[in-house]
Chain A
Amino acid sequence: MKNKIELGTSSENTWCPGCPNHMILAATKQTVTKLIESKKYKQTDFAITTDIGCHAKIFDYLNLSGIYCLHGRALPTGIGIKLGNPMLKVLTFVGDGAMYSEGMAHFIHAFKHNADLTLVLHDNQSFSLTTGQPTPTSQQGYKSKASPLGTFDRPFNPIKLALASNATFIARTSARNIPHMVETFTKAIRHKGFSFVEIIQDCLIFNPDANEKDDLMYKIPDNRNKENAEKYAEEFDYNSKSGKIPIGVIYQSRERSLEEKWPQLKMKMNKKTNIPKKKSLFKLN
């Protein structure tokens, strides 16, 4: 008899009815359950960190170890967990507001460190838990209580930023597509190194103009070519609904992860892994 895996908690779910966060939670549970069932991982091997915002309530609804962090700090805290115990499988949940405003420095540096953890970014183009102020990915003209004149700034493109920061795994998925999320999360978790998954998500309450992009989305095959990745990144500008939105693995490459670079962490891992030789012009370490 195998034990039933219980990933839920007794906490009352306080997301808005119909919020795609419910689907992200379902996809996360399915992904983790499958990984546990595959016998490669135990439930206790996972640790999550979450930010502050609507997305972060997932902390209370998942029966997994972790830290409910401060706003903007879920990513460095997650990397810290890897430094403390590199054997743990870390999933870091953040929102667009938290990661790209308060936590931007952490975002860029995370690609540099390439710690073996998965960043799940819920992008609903709005600071929703604080009642709808614009985030760095909100579209121009977005009006809120904090921006009654409309948002003047153009949103930036996090996928392009990730590529420029030497990301080793970038994927995009849709909060309305549970099977696609499960598939994408699984690939991201299996990736050796830092994996960044952007979830395109609607906020039903605050930014309806940005919602309903499902028709623009199309699936791409797993991509390992940088030029193609740059093309995929250009297709959606977060600002208009004129372009297409590619979903799937936008870019993947293999480089030494944080745990493979540091001898101290390698020792803690204490198992033989196939570590690729460093590709570098400079013969350091």
Chain B
Amino acid sequence: MKLNIIIGGKAGQGINKVSEIIGNVLNKYGYFTFNYRDYASLIRGGHNFNTLCISDSLIESHDAKVDILVALDDLSIKTHKAALKKNGTTILGEQFKDLGRNINVALAGTIIKILGIPLVELEKEIKSQFKDYSKALEAAKQGYDSQETQQKLTKLKASPTTLSGSQAIAKGAVNSGLDLYIAYPMTPATNTMHELAANQIENNLMVFQAENEISAASMAIGASFAGARVMTGTSGGGFDLMGETLSLQGIAEIPLTVSLVSRPGPGTGVPTYTAQSDLDIALRSGHGEAPRVVVAPGNPIEAIDKTSEALFLAEKFKTLSIILSDKHLTESEFSSIQKPMKTIKFKITRTLPGKDLVKSSSYETDKFGNSTESYTLTEQNTNARIKKYNDIKKFVNKKFEMIKIHGDSKSKNLIIGWGSTSGAIKDAIKDLDAKFLQVLYCKPLSPKIKKEMKKAENIILVECNVTGQLGRLIREKTGIKIENRLLKYNGRPFHADELNSLIKSII
């Protein structure tokens, strides 16, 4: 069973409230939800919509074709009527305009009724959300009574909980004992900052806003040097500014973790939309040659795990860890019954200022940490950095999940993808003869990828960028060129149904 609902309206009309209420009721009723948020770079007006996908089993994506369209304004009908399936239902917000801000509750009521869920489930949710709920309850009933039941959803045993990718990155960081998050606001990375800032005192950490990303990264390096567990976060443009500090990290060897949340570029691009076009800069930004780790979680549970691993590896190897995600992962809301892995606890055992004399430098240094221009030391230090990367590779290979195989593991049709696209791929191949190899570590890259590719007859690359960045990376590391490429680069993520037919046409 799978249903897709679009809730559309102007920014400020509260479409997020509608999907939140319905999502919560459904999760508590034992159903899985996935909520895609599509919004423009403005605060009031325009056209925003959410696609809420509902299923009785785990889903991590939404479809292009929808069953129900909830329209808070005329533009929503115009924009989405083509997406509505034959026999689909349209619900107009107009009919509840006298309810003021309770219009959202009434709209939630209509959906709950259509799904055949008892009103009391919605009432429970309203009571838990609102202090003064008498008007809201009336509105909910009014919405509920306005519709006929179409589905008969029975209560299920599962109790999935919902998390966004930003919440998950914050959770992973808190689990690992983060002391400091230093950043400069940039969509879509800012939600992680908000998440951490909201509970900073309870979580015994500090969220500091710097004057720009250069400063944020420099402060993060300083704080890490002083012994704090630090993270900074930004999107592509800010990451470019941090480039020099990432390079500094390579030589100064002060642990640093950066969350890079992509959006479509180049330039300001399409700031509130999504893309996987920053893998190249995650792998290579910064001058010189130095080790780094790039992890790419595909859903919030993986984001919790990989954020903790990134922080751990940064500290253990005094290296740079980059958590690569995008708007689609960080701002979509995923429900799951999976639990994150046990957090890897670690202590900071390196020598620290305050206790010892410690020198770190942007220059090549001698054994005292002072500058050198010696050719032997330059070569030795360079070799040491490369050795460190080999150590990281060995360690990660042994300890952490670098790839995942989903779908039919015996299939000769191999789909390769990463990050937020993973959800749509997993859902797209549910009824297909296909296996999905999800890359979780982009640096180092798992040697298993080549083995899997050798076994396959048909390989398809799926990414949200125009040049197939993971495909190029795999070609660099394995020598294998992937001919079949499904690339989407219009700022929107893949829909599961869209991807299903695209893959079907190839295999």
Contact = CB atoms under 8 A, between A and B. Distances in A.
Contacts of A59: 359, 361, 370-371
A256 interface: no
A119 interface: no
Given A10-B368, A44-B353, A84-B180, A67 B221 contact: yes
B140 interface: no
Interface of B: 179-180, 182, 200-201, 204-206, 208, 210-212, 214-215, 218-228, 230, 244-245, 248, 252, 254, 352-363, 366, 368, 370-371
Interface string A45-59: 111010010000101
Contacts of A43: 357
A76 B357 contact: no
Contacts of B355: 44
Contacts of A23: none
A49 B360 CA distance: 10
Given A264-B201, A264-B205, A64 B222 contact: no
A45 B222 contact: no
Question: Which of B211, B220, B354, B363 is packed against the most chain A CB atoms within 10 Å?
Answer: B354
A11 B366 CA distance: 9
Given A9-B368, A73-B218, A80 B354 contact: no
Interface in A203-233: none
Of the candidates A57, A69, A265, the one having the most CB atoms from chain B within 10 angstroms of its own CB is A69
Given A65-B357, A68-B363, A262-B206, A84 B370 contact: no
A77 interface: yes
A59 B204 CA distance: 34
Contact of A81 (B205, B210, B223): B223
Q: Which one of B179, B205, B208 has the highest number of Cβ atoms from chain A below 10 Å of its Cβ?
A: B208
Contacts of B254: 67
A85 B362 contact: no
Given A66-B359, A69-B362, A78 B244 contact: no
Interface of A: 9-11, 43-47, 49, 52, 57, 59-60, 63-70, 72-73, 76-85, 87-88, 105-106, 109, 262-265
Contacts of A78: 222
A68 B353 contact: no
A86 to B, nearest CB: 9
B227 A77 contact: no
B227 A85 contact: yes
18 contacts: A11-B370, A49-B222, A57-B371, A59-B371, A65-B356, A65-B357, A68-B360, A68-B371, A73-B218, A76-B211, A77-B218, A81-B222, A85-B226, A85-B228, A106-B215, A264-B200, A264-B205, A264-B206
A73 B252 CA distance: 14
Given A73-B214, A76-B214, A85 B353 contact: yes
A79 B210 CA distance: 10
A66 B371 CA distance: 13
Nearest to A47: B353
A161 to B, nearest CB: 15
Contacts of B366: 11
A67 B360 contact: yes
Q: Which 5 residue pairs of A and B lie closest in terms of their CB atoms, listed nearest first?
A: A80-B222, A84-B226, A84-B223, A80-B219, A65-B353
Given A70-B244, A73-B245, A77-B221, A105 B226 contact: no
Contacts of A65: 353-354, 356-359
Contact of A88 (B179, B221, B226, B361): B226
Nearest to B358: A65
A83 B225 contact: no
Contact of B362 (A52, A83, A109, A263): A52
B362 A44 contact: no
Given A83-B219, A105-B215, A45 B354 contact: yes
A73 B225 CA distance: 15
A262 B205 CA distance: 11
A262 B363 CA distance: 33
Nearest to A57: B371
Given A83-B182, A264-B200, A105 B212 contact: yes
A84 B230 CA distance: 8
Contacts of B182: 80, 83
B157 to A, nearest CB: 42
| Residue of A10, A72, A76 contacting most chain B CB atoms (<10 Å) | A76
B358 A80 contact: no
A66 B212 CA distance: 23
A162 to B, nearest CB: 16
Contacts of B228: 83-85
B287 to A, nearest CB: 11
B206 A265 contact: yes
B223 A83 contact: yes
Nearest to B179: A84
Contacts of B358: 65
Given A84-B228, A106-B211, 4 more contacts: A43-B357, A67-B359, A85-B226, A105-B215
Nearest to B360: A67
Contacts of B368: 9-11
Nearest to A258: B208
Q: Which among B244, B353, B358, B362 has the greatest number of chain A C-beta atoms within 10 A?
A: B353
Name, among A11, A44, A47, A80, the residue most crowded by chain B CB atoms within 10 Å (CB to CB): A80
Nearest to A74: B218
B94 to A, nearest CB: 42
A255 to B, nearest CB: 18
Contacts of B248: 69-70, 73
A80 B220 contact: yes
Given A67-B360, A68-B371, A79-B222, A87 B214 contact: no
Contact of A68 (B201, B208, B357, B362): B362
A67 B361 contact: yes
Nearest to A11: B370
Contacts of B252: 67
A87 B356 CA distance: 14
Contact of B219 (A70, A79, A85, A105): A79
A76 B218 contact: yes
A58 to B, nearest CB: 11
A43 B223 CA distance: 19
Contacts of A72: 214
Contacts of B356: 44, 65
A11 B368 CA distance: 9
A63 B224 CA distance: 20
A84 B357 contact: no
Contacts of A60: 370-371
